[in-house]
Structure 1
Amino acid sequence: MASTLPAPALQASRAALNAALADQPPINNEVDDFEEGEIPEVDMEEQAEGIRTVFSDPKNFNVKHPLYSPWTLWFDSPATKGRNLPQTPVSAFPQTPVPQTPSVAAAQGWMEDIKRVISFDSVEEFWGLYNNIVPPSQLPQKANYYLFKEGIIPAWEDEANKHGGKWSIQLPRDKNRGNVDKMWLYTMLAAIGETFDPTPDDMEGSLAQSLITGVIVSIRPQFYRISIWTRLAPSPTEEDKLRERIEAVGRYFKAGVLGYQESARLAGPLATEVEFLSHRDSEKKGKAAKKIIV
């Protein structure tokens, strides 16, 4: 049966599986006579029979593939305000405390109604989480999922976000109810797979790490909004490497993740183009806000 997973996920699976196979000890416990320094030949097909990845057995896998960074999923909706979320199957995953930094304290009032669901650091835990949560198309109005790197809260005040901005697209609910779940899944996969902005080798300082801090899907009465948050935002008057990287994130989001042609124009009733706006400019209204559009 052909896989329905996107190509990046399949590539990651095959690469991780090959690495896992290479690290497994021989299954046959019999001791053969080998000369000193000789490496025994391993039957890879025999080894593979005992290895179950999340892609072959979503519930009974026995191999874990670590992600480059750990991530935390947050959630809020009108139904969660002022109370704790009910326990769900994902609560079986290990929980880590939210770091109480000064930036977290500054946003604490707004964060009181946002519930931390789970943290994870492997491909298997991601799929275990994804298979046990309600998809965006079935969430109530005004609900939000926030998937952020562990240690970063989904608030402008966080140290990792306060100098950044976000790419976002707004889509009418009626026309995109059948697409939003796939769009959100592909957005999450691109984030945890570090494909939006791979960590560069030739940068220094704040540019030497991935620009991506988190991704959000928001459900509103008439539209869906998917956003990608970045830790930095370029100056609107400068043409530099940061701006090039920010624009590359937007182009990949539009074409590689959402599946639109780069030349396509998307704006219309309740819809926007794929747009970047710094968090600082998000507080402005009208023409004072400087957007980047791809």
Structure 2
Amino acid sequence: MSSLEASQAAVADSIAENKPAGKSGENGLEPGEIQEVEVDMQAHAESIRTVFNDPTNFNVKHPLYSPWALWFDSPATKGRNLPQTPMSSFPQTPLPQTPSVAAAGWMEDIKKVIGFDSVEEFWGLYNNIIKPSELPPKANYYLFKEGIIPAWEDEANKNGGKWSIQLPKDKNRHKIDDLWLNTMLAAIGETFDPALTEAESEDSVPRSLITGVIVSTRPQFYRISIWTRSAPGQDDEDMRKRIEAIGRHFKTAVLGYPESQKLSGPLATEVEFLSHKDSEKKGKQAKKPIVV
């Protein structure tokens, strides 16, 4: 099994383990069914502590294919340290000093919460931060690969773009937390980019196009975005197909919409892709987004 496959399997197993039990009895048994466990196996199992058993002293880690970092900003963090929330229990890392980014005013207010490189550390983080549905307006979570700053100017982002969807807040407050969790799991599990799983061997696995994912809260809507390191050029059909495949996976497997469903409406958008360079253009110069 390749390291990519192992990482995807670890994320899939953790999702299954993190789901609440169904209607059957404890440990998945039907009423009246007896669980048969060998004594030595049971003793071994008891010595294993995952993040689900002990959020602070777990001793088993499943490494991810890539290390990640969570960043955060909101009106409450501007010009000050993080507020005293469960999030602040994690050590913070100083903002990397990339000259073109450090000069941007808004980057002075963004806070790196923590970096992680295992499934267990992800769940430990997720279980101790505020959910998107509880964030104040104008707050943002940025989950980016370690070493990449969540800004257009970063070397990994400057030639890329983003898939995004905007959802009315009143109709989606009850499900935005699950949509964001699914987005993060797809990112750290490296399932967004189909070229990774279609590679014939570990040596032929291409570089992932995904650099990070973002959830933003605004007074009337939520926005979820998937950032890529490349964007299709006018005659780059292969890259366009790869980018479109990411968008379809985002719409169907992550957000759970049928591919043919139209989503636009008041305060809502389709799942749309636009390069960062085109996002800066206005009026007639701006290109139409790719829509799936």
Shift of 1:238: 2.4
In structure 2, the partner of 1:48 is 45
**2:118 matched to 1:134?**
no
Shift of 1:54: 2.3
**2:253 matched to 1:232?**
no
CA distance in 2, matches of 1:120, 1:130: 11
**2:151 matched to 1:155?**
yes
**2:239 matched to 1:242?**
yes
Structure 2, unaligned stretches of length 5 or more? 1-7, 18-39
1:99-178 equivalences under 5 Å are: 99-107=96-104, 109-178=105-174
Q: Give the partner amino acid of 1:166.
A: K
For residue 49 of structure 1, give the secondary structure of its aligned residue in structure 2.
helix
**What is the percentage of aligned positions where both structures have the same residue?**
76
Change (3 A) 1:198 1:104: farther
Change (3 A) 1:290 1:9: farther
In structure 2, the partner of 1:11 is 12
Shift of 1:59: 4.7
Aligned to 1:79, which of 76, 80, 87?
Answer: 76
For residue 168 of structure 1, give the secondary structure of its aligned residue in structure 2.
strand
For residue 262 of structure 1, give the secondary structure of its aligned residue in structure 2.
coil
In structure 2, the partner of 1:272 is 269
Change (3 A) 1:14 1:248: closer
Structure 1, unaligned stretches of length 5 or more? 1-6, 17-42
**2:183 matched to 1:182?**
no
8 Å CA contact 1:148, 1:214 repeated in 2? yes
CA distance in 1, matches of 2:281, 2:140: 23
Shift of 1:99: 3.4
Normalised by the length of structure 1, the TM-score is: 0.79
Aligned to 2:191, which of 188, 195, 204?
Answer: 195
Q: Number of paired residues?
A: 258
In structure 2, the partner of 1:218 is 216
8 Å CA contact 2:87, 2:130 repeated in 1? no
CA distance in 1, matches of 2:11, 2:157: 31
Question: C-alpha offsets along residues 8-33 of structure 1, whole Å, 9 cap, x if unaligned?
Answer: 776344999xxxxxxxxxxxxxxxxx
1:84-99 equivalences under 5 Å are: 84-86=81-83, 89=86, 93=90, 96-99=93-96
Farther-moved stretch of structure 1 (130-139 vs 190-199): 190-199
Aligned to 1:65, which of 57, 62, 65?
Answer: 62
Change (3 A) 1:69 1:91: farther
CA distance in 2, matches of 1:100, 1:56: 38
Question: C-alpha offsets along residues 142-161 of structure 1, whole Å, 9 cap, x if unaligned?
Answer: 11111111111111000000
CA distance in 1, matches of 2:174, 2:130: 14
Shift of 1:48: 2.6
Farther-moved stretch of structure 1 (279-288 vs 177-186): 279-288
Query: Larger C-alpha radius of gyration, 1 or 2?
Result: 1
Q: Give the partner amino acid of 1:131.
A: N
Change (3 A) 1:79 1:128: same
CA distance in 2, matches of 1:218, 1:90: 17
8 Å CA contact 2:64, 2:118 repeated in 1? yes
CA distance in 2, matches of 1:47, 1:112: 48
CA distance in 1, matches of 2:173, 2:71: 22
Change (3 A) 1:8 1:226: farther
Change (3 A) 1:90 1:120: farther
**2:245 matched to 1:263?**
no
8 Å CA contact 2:72, 2:111 repeated in 1? yes
CA distance in 2, matches of 1:116, 1:10: 23
CA distance in 1, matches of 2:122, 2:55: 11
Q: Give the partner amino acid of 2:161.
A: G
